[in-house]
Structure 1
Amino acid sequence: MPGHEVPAVPGVLTAEAVLATGRAIAAVQQDSGAVPWFPDGHVDPWDHVESAMALSATGLLAQAEHAYEWLRRTQRRDGSWPLQVRDGVVEDAAADTNFCAYPAVGVWHHLVITGDDGFAERMWPVVRAAVEFVLGAQRGRGEIDWAVGAGGAPVGEALLSGCSSIHHSLRCALALAEHLGEPQPGWEVALGRLGHVLRRHPEAFLVKDRYSMDWYYPVLGGAVRGAAGRRRLQERWDDFVVEGLGARCVDDHPWVTGAETCELVLSLDAVDEHDRARELLAAMQHLRDPDGSYGTGFVYADGKRWPEERTTWTGAAVVLAADALSRTTPGNGVFRGEKLSEGLADVHCCALEDAETGPPAPSLPE
């Protein structure tokens, strides 16, 4: 049974519905603690953590801690995890830096919800080693290569969405370090450099602007907020948002996806666009199944769900969006940056925004 109040968004999702989604995720969890994409699917560290966070938010704390224990047991000596594992067998030995950074978000989120310092102390070596691994792929300008090959060499390419997510992970890692009395000034410098390149150097990243993630992730990851964040979301709203259905994954296909929609909900919530965020969460409920699980996406030109699998990480994104909008659990503000370390990046960000953003942006159009 849940150990705390479960999120609910009036008129969109009841607490019972959100709890059902948490239980649907838990039903897919393997005996090892791993949470695959769907039954018999593969596991990657990022989506595993997203699912663990949903378990924490729905009060399924034992299951969440089992998931984090899986991370602790399977971390490699260099601080990384394989990009893809299935039933304990490594299918892709490369490491995605964003995937490896994300456990910091989950560990901090679980600590804020539970107040369990013992858990934080057990997981601190895991987070510390993972962050050091990730920062080993940071370039002089500040961007971080998206992957490190099985041979240990960075791939030489950086992604805007991945680096934006790492920006959030570093803030959570610094908050955890501060909480445990383990200052990491080098991480603060790395965060400052990463935030700067995210705001000032779009040429540092591979061009992926057909993907909605490249549109909203700088906001979601905290590098761009306030008026600048609202302007960014306004600029391509019509390219990606389909009224009554949700957000498209890419701008050139008639396909809305639940996880991207809910991440956009979290981004909107972070820049005080709460009404629009609630409307989007309501719009994507057509992907919900009776057991609380969620389909990945919907091809609206054909009127069909695609793919057929109901992914754990889509349900997890729904839970986290519901918690953010309802302000229910103590971890509801993790994507708004509440309780996170200010760090050098945030000080720099505020200075940049004051200097560069000009007058406030209007609210997104109705």
Structure 2
Amino acid sequence: MADIPELTGVLSASEVLRTAATIAETQEPSGAIPWFTGGHVDPWDHVESAMALSAAGSFGEAEHAYDWLLRTQRDDGSWPLRVRAGRVEDAASDTNFCAYLAVGVWQHLLITGDDGFAVRMWPAVRRAMNFVLGAQREDGEMDWALDERGVPVGEALLSGCSSIHHSLRCALALAEYLGSSQPDWEVALGCLGNALRCRPEAFTPKHRYSMDWYYPVLGGAVRGRAARRRLSERWTDFVVDGLGVRCVDDHPWVTGAETCELVLSLDAVEQRAPALELLSAIQHLRDPDGSYWTGLVYADGKRWPEERTTWTGAAMILAVDALSRATPGNGIFRAEDLPAGLAAEECQPPGSVSDPLDAPESGIFSLE
């Protein structure tokens, strides 16, 4: 069994196991993992929760979650956007949600080394990725959703496409591992990466949201000096010292998942000190039972929404794993050894040359 993630002064191994237990306790008999007991299920957050279970050594529960995806995948490779108690509430499909299976499967394989699991999941990953790539536009970006008739919504989102970029890389790694070449995916990945780095006008502006700020880094499309510069530029817009990361820049509301995802982004660009500081700060959302509240409105000290979400706890576990280097899957968001795809014609991203904002080891981008 892999070591359980833990970080001295942040979360112990026993606390991580307690958080994983709250996710497993919320899992339905079918294997589905809703946001909270009685809540709805979406494919992305379901996979995120399964990944946390894998990181915590709860392999049976994680595989039960993946089996639910095998049983509920539609013929076109997609899943409904929203399911509650086994009933479809929204039959549309989110491309990012569908692609994320590849990340979970690759992480579980890295942790367990279970070839049988990889072989069993591969057809679902292949169908899901082919569905997602069916929504790719000529210049590389993907529509964020298809309606229940399979018609693209006509809108691409930077955060969703950044996550798909990561999913595609994991899917290609799985394909390579299983000896199943997917040259079309390599081309698609190159085109998508180029769009993310060089064509901001292709995406619907969502500048209020922190996800649009850090997701190109988290998804691996922007790394190195350019990534550090990107994170530096809006650090003070979103990071609240001692509390965490705002979901949107114009509300006094910090959220656990966004904070943990920024932690993972910082880890990917070798900014360990601020990552540890943020992860420690956001522990104010931890409930005594080990679950996590979604967020805090710090202007009045109220937790909002009044939900303890499985995916918030999952993000905590994955962030601890990344920083502690505990499991063999801890580098999944650093994109260690993931294929880069075929290079599309590149523009030069901001910060790719000599950059005065290059960060020192001891702090975050020289910001005071």
TM-score calculated relative to the size of structure 2: 0.96
Pair 1:221 & 2:219 matched: yes
- Contact 2:190–2:340 (8 Å) recurs in 1: no
Misfit runs of 4+, over 6 Å: none
Deviations 1:181-222 (A, max 9, x none): 001000000000000000000000001000000000000000
- 1:143 paired residue number: 141
For structure 1, the residue ranges without an aligned partner over 5 or more in a row are none
Amino acid at match of 2:97: F
SS at match of 2:342: helix
- Tell me which protein shows more helix as a share of its residues: 1
CA distance in structure 2 between the aligned counterparts of 1:18 and 1:156, rounded to whole angstroms: 41
How far, CA to CA, are the matches of 2:197 and 2:91 in structure 1? 32
Q: Cα offset for 1:110?
A: 0.2
Helix, strand or coil: the match of 1:247? strand
Equivalent in the alignment of 1:357? 353
Distance, in Å, in 1 between the alignment partners of 2:339 and 2:269 is: 18
Is contact 2:264–2:319 with CA below 8 Å preserved after alignment? yes
- Verify the 8 A CA contact 1:227 1:360 in the aligned structure 2: no
The share of aligned pairs that are identical, in percent, is 72
- Provide the C-alpha distance between the structure 2 equivalents of 1:353 and 1:90, rounded to a whole number of angstroms: 42
Partner Cα separation in structure 2 for residue 270 and residue 132 of structure 1: 28
How much has 1:28 moved relative to structure 2?
0.2
Distance 1:207 1:353, change over 3 A: closer
- In structure 2, C-alpha distance between the alignment counterparts of 1:39 and 1:45, rounded to whole Å: 16
2:337 — aligned with what? 339
Q: In structure 2, list runs of 5 or more residues that go unmatched.
A: none
Distance 1:338 1:113 in 2: 14
2:201 equivalent in structure 1: 203
Q: Deviations over 1:300-357 (max 9, x none)?
A: 0011100111000000000000000000000000000013123225x977x9569943
Query: Secondary structure of the residue that 1:90 maps to in structure 2?
Result: strand
Secondary structure class of the residue paired with 1:256: strand
Deviations 1:57-76 (A, max 9, x none): 00000000000000001000
- Amino acid in structure 1 at the alignment position of 2:16: V
8 A Cα contact 1:142 1:196, kept in partner:
yes
Query: Which residue number in structure 2 is paired with residue 231 of structure 1?
Result: 229
SS of residue in 1 equivalent to 2:14: helix
In structure 2, C-alpha distance between the alignment counterparts of 1:277 and 1:147, rounded to whole Å: 32
Q: Pairwise mapping of residues 1-366 of structure 1 onto structure 2 (< 5 A)?
A: 3-345=1-343, 352=348, 356-359=352-355, 361-363=357-359, 364=364, 365-366=367-368
CA RMSD of aligned residues (A): 1.4
Q: Does the aligned pair in 1 maintain the 2:2–2:328 contact within 8 Å? A: no
1:290 positional shift: 1.1
Q: Is the 8 A contact 1:6 1:15 kept in 2?
A: yes
Q: Distance in 2 between matches of 1:251 and 1:102?
A: 26
Does the 8 Å CA contact 1:7/1:15 hold for their aligned counterparts? yes
Q: 1:348 to 1:281 in 2, by over 3 A?
A: farther
